[in-house]
């Protein structure tokens, strides 16, 4: 509103000046056609504005003051003003300026011409050639400059709050001042030359056309050269940004920042079409890069994508669909370059509203096309990189998560990779070994116990058996491990030397089991044979001389046969039970009477070993547990048999059954050698036997089976022992809430014959 008011004031001032200023004809004043010629020059000068860039700022520049000088010099005031007004009007209209701007330009130049005419005619000398006329002309041009300057700055101040030379267009104040000084100097020189030409011959003024057009053309060429340089520089920087980036978001943001600077536009935007709509990357006028966002539709991109094969400009309201969309948005002009991959458009690069100077219009389109091609190349490269990266991650996941150890070693012994599985096995992490030749740290040996030099694998692989499939190593913690290794030799490439890839599986346990099984077979065959010898011997004796033996001798013979047969039975039952457990077949249903079962075992043991003392303390109340009676019998008889086996013949064995909370406990105590505390857990493992008790027969299966059965019934078996003083094995089984039916009761309960306090002695 203030601007409009100011423009109207200037216009009114110009009209008033024109109305009151007299027309002064004097010798040498211009005729109508001369005025027309001067007016044409003014109109041409107004139309051919030259925009130039000085130290970062853009200024508009024409030779208006110089071209107007002949009008002031010979225009006879009012005719000069009218000619100026008409010429500026024509010039501005040809540039399609906004109406308000046209009115302002016409008014301020007319006013300036009026003021300058008054100055000139006041100060001019007796003739136009006189030196005082020259001074008057210079002062008149200054007046033109001054009025123009005041008017323009006033309107700028009202419109933007700033004046020329204070950062307008981004230039420094010094640059603004230099620009104005150069303009004034050029105009004074041009003005004097134009007036001199007019005095020599009015038609010589036509030389002014050459001056204006030449000046304009030179300026234009300069602008084109500058724009050419800026765009190419921008393209180079944008291409570089793409070449150095490896992820889409960063690469495209850097690319757009450079494209925006290079094309001197307000905003650069890249729209990439996707299945879900469009992804928009943006670099805005605020200088910051906008976030990449997904939107469902981008109307402008859709409008141009289907029809665009190369970069094209659109302007709001230019009659195209894109022009219509622009008219409804924030921008007025756009340069759109499609991103084409094969025959399809995968996106569009938009460069909105050029703020820089014109020039290089055609080349600019070519550069935009080149940029979009670079964009496509970048996207293809990044997609490829992503695919490679994904594959790499998958592979790394597999290598990292496999329990097998995998490592690779170069022919000079340098370890090039070492996976997590191997780190877990050996205790050495990748950082400690990769890049070194320290495989020897693991002290690898072949199955024959010979040291292996893995560093010399290239030679070893040539000799049969040089690289054995089973390798023994020592882990960081000093544990000996057996690895089953498979080897793959990977030939060298241009970038890598020949390597050996080794996949190693930890087979320590399997080997150990294998060893134990071998031992077991040997032990079992020996165990089976041992009881057969006395059985065979006694049977032979009974057969040959049975009639000659007395009652006691016969009884001893039969008892010995019975004891050995029981041993055999126990051994066979243990083996069978072990294989049942290994196969996962267990049968724990039912209710078992622990008191009855234990009493029978004690009785059976005593009948085969009448020389031993076995003391049983039965439970005060019936002790029933949930589980198989066979299992309970197996568990208790293993414990009783061990107590008898591993304690001296003259020492008694106590079997005490009690109830504690919801558990039934069977404690078997002997006064044997006892078990060292560090072996107390080990003896429950399969095939484990203590070194000191190896002179006794056994398979190492009894306690293992006992514990497995106890646990299957929800209980456990443990040992407490003092080496040298004996051991107590405690079988704990959860009591059954269901009472045993009388019919199921063990008949052995009836066999208690003698009572000594709480201890029941069986004979």
Footprint of ligand ADP on this chain (CB under 6 A)?
638, 642-643, 646, 670, 672-673, 675, 683, 688-690, 693, 698-704, 727
440 vs 723 by CB, closer to ligand ADP = 723
Strand-pair category, 653-660 with 614-617 = parallel
246 vs 676 by CB, closer to ligand ADP = 676
**Angle at the Cα of 190 from the Cα atoms of 189 and 194, rounded to 5 degrees:** 120
In whole angstroms, what is the distance from residue 637 CA to residue 649 CA?
18
314 vs 646 by CB, closer to ligand ADP = 646
Q: Which residues pair with 615 in a beta bridge?
A: 654, 761
| Contact of 407 with 419, CB cutoff 8 Å | yes
Residue 315 phi/psi, 5-degree rounding, is -135, 150
In whole angstroms, what is the distance from residue 508 CA to residue 482 CA?
5
Nearest approach in angstroms of CB 709 to ligand ADP is 13
- Which parts of 264-417 fold into alpha helices (H)? 299-305, 321-327, 361-401
263 vs 704 by CB, closer to ligand ADP = 704
Say how many C-beta atoms besides its own lie within 10 A of residue 617's C-beta.
16
Nearest approach in angstroms of CB 597 to ligand ADP is 18
Residues 6+ apart with CB under 8 A from 643: 653, 668, 669, 670, 672, 727, 729
| Contact of 458 with 446, CB cutoff 8 Å | no
Say how many C-beta atoms besides its own lie within 10 A of residue 90's C-beta.
17
- Kindly calculate the radius of gyration of the chain based on its CA atoms and give it in whole angstroms: 56
Q: Which two tokens stand for residue 469?
A: 């499939």
Nearest approach in angstroms of CB 513 to ligand ADP is 16
Q: Which of 597, 601, 558 is nearest to 762 (CA)?
A: 601
Cα 77 to chain center, whole Å? 78
Nearest approach in angstroms of CB 539 to ligand ADP is 25
In whole angstroms, what is the distance from residue 373 CA to residue 150 CA?
50
Q: Which residues pair with 295 in a beta bridge?
A: 278
Nearest approach in angstroms of CB 673 to ligand ADP is 6
Burial of 663 (0-12, 13-18, 19+ CB in 10 A): middle
Nearest approach in angstroms of CB 520 to ligand ADP is 10
128 vs 640 by CB, closer to ligand ADP = 640
Q: Which two tokens stand for residue 14?
A: 């110009």
Nearest approach in angstroms of CB 672 to ligand ADP is 5
703 vs 746 by CB, closer to ligand ADP = 703
135 vs 525 by CB, closer to ligand ADP = 525
Nearest approach in angstroms of CB 693 to ligand ADP is 4
| Contact of 570 with 637, CB cutoff 8 Å | yes
Nearest approach in angstroms of CB 509 to ligand ADP is 19
Nearest approach in angstroms of CB 639 to ligand ADP is 8
Nearest approach in angstroms of CB 726 to ligand ADP is 8
566 vs 642 by CB, closer to ligand ADP = 642
DSSP secondary structure code for residue 290 in this structure: E
Residue 39 phi/psi, 5-degree rounding, is -60, -40
| Contact of 352 with 358, CB cutoff 8 Å | no
Nearest approach in angstroms of CB 692 to ligand ADP is 7
Strand-pair category, 591-593 with 499-506 = unpaired
Q: Got the DSSP string for 34-68?
A: HHHHHHHHHHHHHHS-EEEEETTEEEEE--HHHHH
338 vs 672 by CB, closer to ligand ADP = 672
| Contact of 631 with 697, CB cutoff 8 Å | no
In whole angstroms, what is the distance from residue 488 CA to residue 406 CA?
11
Nearest approach in angstroms of CB 735 to ligand ADP is 25
73 vs 684 by CB, closer to ligand ADP = 684
Nearest approach in angstroms of CB 686 to ligand ADP is 9
441 vs 712 by CB, closer to ligand ADP = 712
Nearest approach in angstroms of CB 452 to ligand ADP is 36
Residue 490 phi/psi, 5-degree rounding, is -110, 115
**Sign of the dihedral through C-alpha 327, 328, 334, 337:** negative
Nearest approach in angstroms of CB 618 to ligand ADP is 21
Cα 258 to chain center, whole Å? 26
148 vs 727 by CB, closer to ligand ADP = 727
Q: Which two tokens stand for residue 283?
A: 């670099």
409 vs 653 by CB, closer to ligand ADP = 653
555 vs 682 by CB, closer to ligand ADP = 682
Query: In terms of C-beta distances under 8 Å and separation of at least 24 residues, what long-range contacts does 660-663 make, across chains too?
Result: 662/734, 662/735, 663/715, 663/732, 663/733, 663/734, 663/735
Say how many C-beta atoms besides its own lie within 10 A of residue 327's C-beta.
13
143 vs 637 by CB, closer to ligand ADP = 637
Question: What are the C-alpha distances in Å from 155 to residues 29, 55, 176, 263?
Answer: 34, 24, 17, 30
303 vs 675 by CB, closer to ligand ADP = 675
């Amino acid at each position: 509103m203030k601007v409009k008011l100011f423009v109207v004031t200037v216009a009114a001032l110009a009209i008033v000046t024109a109305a009151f200023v007299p027309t002064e004809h004097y010798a040498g004043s211009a005729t109508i056609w001369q005025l027309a010629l001067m007016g044409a020059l003014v109109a041409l000068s107004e139309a051919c504005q030259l925009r130039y860039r000085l130290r970062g700022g853009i200024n508009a520049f024409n030779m208006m003051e110089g071209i107007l000088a002949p009008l002031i010099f010979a225009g006879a005031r009012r005719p000069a003003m009218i000619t100026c007004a008409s010429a500026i009007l024509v010039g501005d209209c040809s540039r399609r300026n906004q109406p308000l701007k046209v009115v302002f330009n016409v008014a301020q130049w007319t006013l300036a011409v009026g003021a300058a005419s008054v100055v000139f005619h006041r100060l001019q000398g007796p003739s136009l050639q006189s030196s005082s006329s020259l001074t008057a002309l210079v002062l008149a041009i200054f007046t033109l400059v001054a009025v123009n300057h005041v008017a323009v700055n006033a309107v700028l101040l009202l419109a933007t709050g700033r004046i020329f030379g204070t950062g307008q267009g981004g230039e420094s104040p010094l640059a603004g001042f230099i620009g104005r000084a150069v303009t004034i100097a050029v105009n004074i020189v041009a003005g004097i030359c134009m007036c001199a030409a007019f005095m020599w011959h009015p038609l010589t003024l036509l030389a002014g056309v050459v001056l204006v057009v030449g000046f304009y053309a030179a300026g234009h060429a300069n602008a084109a050269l500058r724009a050419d340089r800026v765009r190419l520089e921008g393209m180079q920087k944008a291409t570089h940004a793409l070449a150095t980036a490896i992820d889409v978001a960063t690469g495209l943001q850097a690319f757009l920042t450079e494209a925006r600077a290079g094309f001197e536009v307000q905003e650069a935007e890249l729209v990439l079409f996707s299945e879900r709509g469009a992804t928009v990357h943006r670099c805005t006028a605020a200088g910051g890069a906008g976030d990449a966002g997904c939107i469902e539709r981008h109307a402008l991109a859709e409008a141009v994508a289907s029809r665009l094969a190369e970069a094209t400009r659109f302007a709001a309201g230019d009659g195209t669909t894109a022009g219509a969309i622009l008219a409804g948005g924030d921008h007025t002009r756009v340069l759109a370059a499609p991103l084409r991959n094969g025959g399809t458009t995968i996106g569009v690069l938009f460069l909105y509203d050029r703020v820089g100077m014109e020039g290089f219009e055609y080349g600019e389109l070519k550069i935009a096309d080149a940029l979009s091609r670079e964009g496509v190349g970048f996207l293809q490269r990044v997609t490829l990189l992503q695919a490679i990266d994904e594959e790499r991650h998958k592979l790394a996941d597999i290598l990292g998560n496999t329990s097998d150890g995998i490592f690779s070693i170069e022919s000079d012994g340098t370890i090039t990779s070492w996976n997590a599985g191997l780190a877990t096995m050996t205790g050495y992490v990748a950082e400690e070994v990769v890049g070194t030749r320290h495989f020897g740290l693991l002290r690898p040996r072949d199955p024959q116990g010979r040291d292996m030099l893995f560093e010399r694998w290239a030679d070893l692989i040539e000799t049969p058996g040089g690289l054995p499939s089973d390798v023994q190593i020592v882990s960081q913690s000093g544990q000996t491990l057996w690895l089953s290794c498979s080897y793959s030799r990977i030939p060298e490439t241009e970038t890598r030397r020949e390597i050996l890839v080794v996949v190693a599986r930890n087979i320590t346990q399997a080997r150990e089991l294998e060893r134990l099984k071998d031992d077991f077979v040997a032990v079992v065959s020996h165990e089976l044979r041992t009881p057969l010898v006395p059985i065979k011997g006694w049977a032979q004796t009974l057969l040959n001389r049975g009639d000659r033996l007395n009652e006691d001798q016969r009884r001893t013979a039969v008892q010995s046969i019975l004891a050995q047969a029981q041993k055999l039975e126990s051994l066979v039952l243990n083996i069978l039970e072990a294989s049942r457990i290994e196969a996962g077949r267990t049968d724990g249903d039912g209710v078992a009477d622990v008191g009855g079962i234990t009493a029978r075992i004690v009785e059976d043991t005593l009948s085969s070993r009448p020389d031993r003392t076995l003391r049983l303390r039965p439970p005060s109340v019936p002790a029933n547990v949930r589980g198989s009676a066979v299992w309970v019998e197996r568990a208790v008889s293993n414990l009783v048999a061990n107590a008898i086996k591993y304690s001296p013949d003259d020492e008694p064995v106590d079997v005490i059954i009690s109830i504690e909370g919801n558990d039934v406990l069977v404690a078997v105590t002997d006064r044997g050698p006892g078990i060292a505390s560090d072996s107390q857990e080990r003896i429950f493992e399969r095939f484990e036997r203590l070194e000191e008790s190896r002179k006794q027969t056994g398979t190492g299966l009894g306690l293992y089976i006992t514990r497995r059965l106890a646990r299957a019934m929800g209980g456990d078996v443990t040992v407490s022992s003092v080496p040298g003083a004996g051991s107590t094995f405690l079988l704990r089984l959860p009591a059954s809430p269901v009472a045993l039916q009388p019919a199921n009761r063990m008949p052995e309960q009836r066999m208690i014959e003698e009572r000594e306090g709480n201890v029941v002695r069986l004979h």
